[in-house]
Amino acid sequence: MVRAAVLPAVGAPLHITEIDLPAPGPGQVQVRLAAAGVCHSDLSLSNGTMRVPVPAVLGHEGAGTVVAVGEDVTRVSPGDGVVLNWAPSCGSCHACSLGEVWLCGNALNGAADVYARTVTGTDLHPGLNVAAFAEETVVSAGCVLPVPEGVPLADAALLGCAVLTGYGAVHHSAQVRPGETVAVYGVGGVGLAALQAARIAGAAKIIAVDVSPEKEELARSAGATDYVVASENTAREIRGLTGKQGVDVAVECVGRATTIRTAWDSTRRGGRTTVVGIGGKDQQVTFNALEIFHWGRTLSGCVYGNSDPARDLPVLAEHVREGRLDLGALVTERIALEGIPAAFENMLAGKGGRALVVF
């Protein structure tokens, strides 16, 4: 038996309880969690913006130590530190054949499986494959990657989503070049990672945008050179900070129609907007045909930072070891399992960066 945060139904509060976790079967790995980040996607899963089979144990950003492995598992052994990869690529679908592993059509197949049961025998699904909101979990061997040397185990949890997403949005999707100007909308865990990534990329001006004035110090510590409190004048303010041109790149980490539209409006003619935030189907963004022609801007979606974890984790680890990437700076609160509902409330209120469940 292990303790876990169970989502009994969409829209229901999380229930902290013991669950019955079976031993790993063929091709599976049992992991004792060291830490799990509380991501906005977990909130979206709990309130139904994104759909998963329920009841489920959420949590998709985690790291821990291998406890046991099933038959045919050779990539890790008991005692190894691992990062959980919630979107393992199959290697054989159309997207994988194109090298776009972040769009793998089979990556989330495991989320429909039954991986554990409650003490009363109710089947439980692993939210986004890995069920990290628990003291231990059992996952497919494809869902674990060795923790890179020099990265603390608890901090490594952030590599599993926030950092891969924020760093990838800047380096892979937007492809920020040295000397360019960048605006990052939303100073949460992913936004903070994007700010650090823009600094690593050599951006000349990095403008952080958030509804909360209290996040300015946090944003500047991550690399922001300027801070704008979001309002109806945000795009105008950003043009004022960039010689009336607008930024070269806007990275939207909120997932709201108004923010996406503002991010687009704040880029220069020919600028690039990358949308990382996950919005609901009711969030409609509109453009007219003439402005699309006139401005020559690019608007692109971004899944998991367009990242390949196996390729990118060693690169991120090198940035950590060299002091360019500060994982701990993304964490504004360290909590227990019982603190997850409050962390969700803080997200809704626009407070803080990344809350980290520490076991």
Counting the structural domains of the chain, the total is 2
Q: Rg for the chain (alpha carbons), in Å? A: 20
Residues 142 and 168 in one domain: no
pLDDT at 52: 86
pLDDT value of residue 144: 97
| Cα 276 to chain centroid, rounded | 9
- Report pLDDT for 349: 86
Q: Residue 15's pLDDT is what?
A: 92
Among 312, 267, 314, smallest CA distance to 292 is for: 267
Q: Which regions of the chain are under pLDDT 50?
A: none
Contact between 284 and 308 under an 8 Å Cβ cutoff? The reply is no
Residue 282 in any domain: the answer is: yes
Query: Does residue 309 fall inside a structural domain?
Result: no
Phi, psi (rounded to 5 degrees) for 57: -105, 115
Give residue 294's pLDDT.
97
- For residue 154, being part of any structural domain is answered with no
What is the spatial distance between Cα 62 and Cα 57, in angstroms, rounded to a whole number? 13
Q: What is the pLDDT of residue 286?
A: 95
Can you tell me the distance from the alpha carbon of 254 to that of 264, in angstroms, rounded to the nearest whole number?
13
Q: Which domain holds residue 290?
A: 163-304
CATH of residue 346's domain is: 3.90.180.10
pLDDT for res 128: 93
pLDDT value of position 50: 84
Residue 322 lies in a domain: no
Is 284 in the same domain as 254? yes
Rounded CA-CA distance 191/135 in Å is 27
Token output for 356: 């980290």
